[in-house]
Chain A
Amino acid sequence: MRAQFVFHEVWTGLRRNLTMTIALVVVVAISLSLLGTGLLFVKQVNNTRTYWQGKVEISVYLCTANSVSTQCRQNGPATATEIASIKHDLQSLPQVQHVFYETQAQAYQHFRQDFSQDPSFVSTVSQGDIPNSFEVKLKNPTADFNVVAGTVQGRPGVDDIVDDRSILSNFYKLLDGARNAVVVIAIILIIAAALLVANTIRLSAFNRRRETSIMRLVGASNFYIQLPFLVEGVIAGLVGWLVAAGLLVAVKSLGLDTLQEYFTFNVRLSATDLIEVVLLTMVVGVVLCGATSFLTLRRYLRV
């Protein structure tokens, strides 16, 4: 195998239909970067979701002197006995893993911490505005919310029961939607890229039909005839991938990492996650271009 010969042929091929090569590189770059963005999104969503799934609980808010609901106004603020009996009943439920009582002072502390970057907002709320509550952690949050909520719903002293997941679900709907849109566009573009690869290779084969016909005549093996075209496709794919890799780094550092501002805990994707996605897009790019070239050549360079 004479590598120099093959690469010379590849270079000629890429240069001769330069416009197609550029189009191919651009489409491969865009489709791979969209695919990569989709994958980064998936990872980002999973990252935040794993964190939350460990955290989400049922919050059972208790009545305070400031509560405005009709139920609280009828029964007045929760008394110590009411609180104790609610706690006991919650703890005795088999679906409950853990019950934590958060006083108004603790709730206010947490609130001040979570919004420490926004002091003007903190100043509008004072201690006592946030009710004391039971933070109930379930063994199986998706299934048992109704059972647990039912046992304390409407009892004197209980104001409102909130499933923390419902607060997050809108956020996740948004993220999931964005991710799905990106992935769908990426798939459409990948199909477009495959068609472009096929077209480029076909043009290249047409441009070099003299050479290939002579190669066939003097007994060059199929492999030798097809290799330059195959390498041509794969090189275009790799160049496209390099551009995509750059775009993906930008998407992570300029896009996804800014999400951090909205979270008090660490949701930043690690470098490993990025490398994993970038490598995956390389595999997709190379396989896409290589396989399409190969299949196109089967049709156009028969012995």
Chain B
Amino acid sequence: MIHFDNVTKLYPNQSRPALENVNIDVEKGEFIFLVGPSGSGKSTFLRLVLKEERPTEGRIHVAGKDLARLTAWRIPLLRRRIGCVFQDFRLLPNKNIYQNVAFALEVIGKPRRFIRKVVPEVIDLVGLEGKHDRMPDELSGGEQQRVAMARAFVNRPMILLADEPTGNIDPATSIGIMKVLDRINRTGTTVVMATHDAAIVDSMRKRVVELEFGKVVRDQSRGVYGQAY
């Protein structure tokens, strides 16, 4: 599903590469944690998958597509197959929950009847049933992240990228978030989650890829977070 072949990414005006000779293979339906200290290259990895950045060297395949050969106008089509969740939720403050989720479908031109059908389903899936009309600022952090996950998942992506989704959320609430991610993973969606949260990684017992200074230093199935940072 995601295939990194000797990928190096060097940002302009920086001497040390953000990623260096990275080889990672993520299979369809896998759940992997990307761990490592800040600046280890986790976010760069996610940006490369979305083709927000281009690798300096190496090849990247996502969902069977060679990203180097993907023309600019096809990038949106790639992104429709990838859902994204962030630490800061990125909800639209002037739209309610339903509208926030529906927005992701409206802007890719889905018919309204389809939107009316699938949006409530996804809102139920993330556990926010009955809260369609709430505005983001009326919700707790955990609930806001659920909305963000609903939005990321509403178009049934093949891959869900989560960049520290529990970073702004207390440990108790994080467990609920992880349950939703696990539920999404069980539908067959590949989940890649970058995180600092050792407790979560240890409790899930999923594959762990550890990055340090842009290099893969560990790749374990059913791993733990490792030493404390």
Contact = CB atoms under 8 A, between A and B. Distances in A.
Q: Most chain-B Cβ atoms within 10 A of its Cβ — which of A211, A217, A225?
A: A217
Contacts of A215: 107
Interface string B135-173: 000000000000000011001000000000000000000
B103 A219 contact: no
B79 interface: yes
Contacts of B93: 210
A217 B84 contact: yes
A225 B107 CA distance: 8
Q: Most chain-B Cβ atoms within 10 A of its Cβ — which of A5, A218, A224, A303?
A: A218
B92 A219 contact: no
A284 B8 CA distance: 49
Interface string B65-77: 0000000110111
Interface in A276-303: 303
A103 interface: no
Interface string A190-213: 000000000000000000001101
A214 B80 contact: no
Interface string A1-16: 1100100000000000
A221 interface: yes
Interface residues of A, number: 18
Contact of B103 (A1, A214, A221, A222): A214
B104 interface: yes
Contact residues of A: prevailing secondary structure: helix
B27 interface: no
B108 interface: yes
Given A1-B109, A303-B75, A218 B80 contact: yes
Given A211-B92, A213-B90, A214-B104, A221 B112 contact: no
Contact of A214 (B50, B77, B92, B155): B92
A220 interface: yes
A221 B73 contact: yes
Nearest to B112: A2
A218 B92 contact: no
Contact of B104 (A218, A222, A224, A225): A218
A216 interface: yes
B151 A218 contact: yes
A225 B103 CA distance: 12
B106 interface: yes
A217 B77 CA distance: 11
Contacts of B2: none
Contacts of A5: 106-107
B78 interface: yes
Contacts of B152: 218
Contact of A219 (B72, B76, B106): B76
A218 B75 contact: no
Nearest to A224: B107
Contact of B109 (A222, A224, A303): A224
Interface string A253-295: 0000000000000000000000000000000000000000000
A220 B108 contact: yes
12 contacts: A1-B109, A5-B106, A210-B90, A214-B92, A216-B76, A218-B80, A218-B108, A219-B77, A219-B82, A221-B108, A224-B107, A303-B75
Given A217-B50, A218-B151, A219-B76, 20 more contacts: A2-B109, A5-B107, A210-B92, A213-B90, A214-B90, A214-B92, A217-B90, A218-B103, A218-B104, A219-B79, A219-B81, A219-B82, A220-B107, A220-B108, A221-B73, A221-B76, A221-B108, A222-B73, A222-B76, A225-B107
